Amino acid sequence: MKFQLKNTIAILALTFFFVSCSSDDDSSSVAEGTSGDVELYFDNGVNGDALILGSTYTNSNGESLTINRLNYIISNIVLIKADGTEYTYPKEESYFVISAEGNLLTAHLENVPAGDYTQLKFGIGVDEQRYLQGETAQQSFWDLATEYNLTWTWSTGYRFINFEGTYTSPEVDGEKAFQVHQGSNTATDNYREVTLSLPTTARVREGEMPNIHLKTDANVILDGVNKIKLADNINEAQTATAIMGGENLITIAENTLNMFVVDHVHNGGNSSHED
């Protein structure tokens, strides 16, 4: 009896194991022709700390920045599978404003083909091809970008990043205002694209929405691979620093390639951002 009982238990255990595996396999299968949504969540920070507008952060340049604004444009989103297959989100819908002050922190993608994605690619700013389509073709996004101080005039185009506040430095007296407006101009194209590996596969399924949680490091803008001192760029009146063109923007564009990292992927969601 004991022998038969042990055999029965063993058989039941094996049956449960195979059923469980089958269940897992079924839940991970991709139904051909189906789609789901994907949400990108941008968690703004400064050198490992959360970004709190109005708070002060000191960088390796010895300058202390009180950040009052961090707005930027994310565009041309591409999801990539392990075999290199790419899904390019429709260009007309692939421009998003991310704003710390406006609490716009997500880019929501709809009708993404079901599949397992291992990389994410996107642009920082607005590419020349889109800009040259003209104002009428992008009026809705232009208006949104204007609302969040991410445009100049139409002839001069978009600000890709608007980073502002005040700072103190050992090299200047008192607190000064700063503005860093990253964008393209007639001399240089400062649009950049980044490709990031996902630490966990993003499983897009019908009725399930993976949330890709990115961390953005505002410190990298001035204190990345290249170091830019605000005090070195102060105006002649010694009242403020405004970086809006020239070689500094090319240097900043290089820094921003390292501004983003994917922290984690939350699979199986069906609503807005989840930690």
2 in any annotated domain: no
Q: Is residue 175 included in any domain, yes or no?
A: yes
For residue 55, is it within any domain? yes
Say if 73 falls within a structural domain.
yes
Instruction: Work out the average pLDDT over 107-113.
Output: 97
Q: 230 lies in a domain?
A: yes
pLDDT of amino acid 62 = 96
Task: Give the burial class of 15: count Cβ atoms within 10 A of its Cβ; 0-12 exposed, 13-18 middle, 19 or more buried.
Answer: exposed
Q: Is residue 193 part of a domain?
A: yes
Write out the H or E segment, with its range, that includes residue 40: strand 35-46
Which is it for the CA torsion 217, 194, 125, 240, positive or negative? Answer: positive
Residue ranges making up the domain that contains 244? 36-269
pLDDT digits (tens, 9 = 90+) for 207-237: 899 999 999 999 999 999 999 999 999 999 9
Reply yes or no on whether the pLDDT at 54 is more than 60: yes
Quote the mean pLDDT of the chain. 88
Q: How many CB atoms lie within 10 A of CB 174?
A: 9
Is 4 contained in some domain?
no
Query: How many domains, the chain?
Result: 1
pLDDT tens-place string over residues 76-94: 999 999 999 999 999 999 9
Count the alpha carbons within 13 Å of 5 in the hemisphere toward its beta carbon.
Answer: 2
Question: Predicted confidence band at 273 (pLDDT cuts at 50, 70, 90)?
Answer: low
The structure tokens listed for 53 are 């507008």
* pLDDT classification of 2: cutoffs 50, 70, 90: very low
- Pairing of β 86-88 and β 106-113: unpaired
- Rounded to two decimals, what is the model's pTM? 0.87
Distance CA 119, CA 126 (A): 21
